[in-house]
Structure 1
Amino acid sequence: MLTELQKKKLTYYFHTFDADKNGTLEKSDFDKIVSGFAEAYNIAQDSETYQYISSTYGKRWEALAKEADTNADNKVSLDEWLSYQDKLLTDPKSDFLWLKVASMFIDVQDVDKDGTLSLNEYKVMYKIHGVGDESLAAEIFAKLDFDGDGKISKNDAMNLVADFYLSDNPQAPGNLFFGAYE
């Protein structure tokens, strides 16, 4: 069962995918996020990069709709989302699917494919997902860039995501990975 802190973080995270802010997740939200990447990085729709990003978000929507949309209305409500997240975190058969999904999203955000997230890539993630402005992204990035090299390695990012999902410690650094949830 999700703790109150996990519910708070996962509710916040839900809203980062609700691109049109209508209170439900739909395929169009994921399409808007893909368009945001294309616009932010000037990626042509016929490029391999665009196809990768579109395919990644498309597959994520399809899996989410299949597993979380319990009333089959082609929308995922917050309650459905939280129930699905609870299942992922407590069902040993989920095989840490949430980490696999996070890995895919980090790969998408690592546009220059150097195996890290730069401050610029992190800022773009914030902008696309409506998390906050560039100054908030820079402030949080500085807290998560543990060695101060201007990058967050994929391994560090995965550990931060694990903190986000699993930690019930309000001070855990990973709680901030997707923005200030409070």
Structure 2
Amino acid sequence: MVARVGSSAAAPSSAPPADSAPSAKDAPGADARPVFPEDVKRQIVRMAEDAGRMPVRGEFSLAEYDRGHGPELIWQTEKTGEICTADVVGPSTTCVALTSIPAKRVPGADVFMGGGRFYDHGQTFWAVTLIANGESIDHLACRGRDFPARAAYSTRIDGISRIIYTVVIPQELQGEYRVSVQRDGQSAEERLELNMDKVGSPVQC
């Protein structure tokens, strides 16, 4: 169940602070770390208070994307355990109910909050959030091209590690991606459908 509301930014003890959010692989040629505007952050905090979705211990993480998309704030709410993200545009917040998270495959990787389309240097991309349950993601691959997954937030739900990742894929490469993961100290590979535009057969990837 996904709810879109006004909310603030924060995360539980397992989440890194905004200035040290982990990255599975730095984007090639990445510039300085993105900064979430303080004035927008204050708006999000006020909305979180009003909605009863304040973060655990008032902390938050910064979700970074490749190609300059974002950043977003990500946190787990203190009262309900929902995981929320806040976009600088609007600003707007999307929350995922705690009850919907354990249903994800364990171990396994799934799309977490869908994705958003954006443009960079004349190209169209999809920014997608993924969740890894009981494993970690290194990168995704399609047609011989690798796309890094950036770790944005981690927590434990029902005793299982849950890590939220961001990934950016070109609009022209949609379909079944190969996902390289680490599971119990061993490398493994999964398949994950990323067909954000609902492209008909045959898909590009």
Q: TM-score range by the shorter chain?
A: 0.3 to 0.5
With normalisation by structure 1, the TM-score equals 0.33
With normalisation by structure 2, the TM-score equals 0.31
Q: Which structure has more strand as a fraction of its residues?
A: 2
